[in-house]
Amino acid sequence: MKLKNLLIAGATVAVLLPAQAAETITPVVPLPVVVAESEAFEIVGRLDENSLLFHVDRAPTNAPVLGATLSVEAGGKEVAAPFDAASGAYRISDATWLQPLRAVGEHALSFTLLAGDEADLLAGTLSVAAGAPPAVAAGWRLSPVSGGLLLAGIGLVGAALVWRRVKQRQGGVA
């Protein structure tokens, strides 16, 4: 009977004591994005830690527009977005010009695109969402290894109890 009580006490302690701290769930905050469209062209831009990157394509066919001249205006200041052949996109890396665009809110952008003998003016709004809210704890849980070891231990103790009970009934040593 003593072994049975130990088994119950051990199982209770193992279940009640957490084996692993809560994992943290961090909500995904979307990158700031701007979309500008006309009948001829589409521009999609994403603001990351270092730059504002634009992909330009033809609206009817989605064919990329490579090697064009793109300039962007925001807050009365205009800057060129040179073409980066390696990425196939246009990039603005001027930290001073980008700084006001990092503020939470919506920022109006105007685009001037010169592609061969075609020219177009486009407008879009860069939406910058607020930062991530505080992380939310998911609660306590056992790791798979700890859970497996716990089950194996309980199984061994249970098998020992069954073996002992069988030996008692057969008239063996208790």
Do 77 and 97 meet the contact criterion of CB atoms below 8 Å apart? yes
Indicate the pTM of the whole model.
0.60
Question: In what helix (H) or strand (E) does residue 90 lie, and over which residues does it extend?
Answer: strand 89-92
> Is the predicted pLDDT of residue 118 greater than 70, yes or no?
yes
Tokens of 159: 């098998």
Percent of the chain with pLDDT over 70: 75
In this structure, the number of other CB atoms found within 10 A of the CB of residue 114 comes to 12
Do 82 and 91 meet the contact criterion of CB atoms below 8 Å apart? yes
Per-residue pLDDT, 161: 80
**Average pLDDT over all residues of the chain:** 82
Per-residue pLDDT, 12: 65
Question: What domains sit in the chain, N to C, each tagged with a CATH number?
Answer: 2-22+141-169 (no CATH), 33-128 (2.60.40)
Q: Give 77: exposed, middle or buried? Use CB within 10 Å, 0-12, 13-18, 19+.
A: exposed
What 8-state DSSP symbol labels residue 106?
Answer: E
Amino acid at 163: W
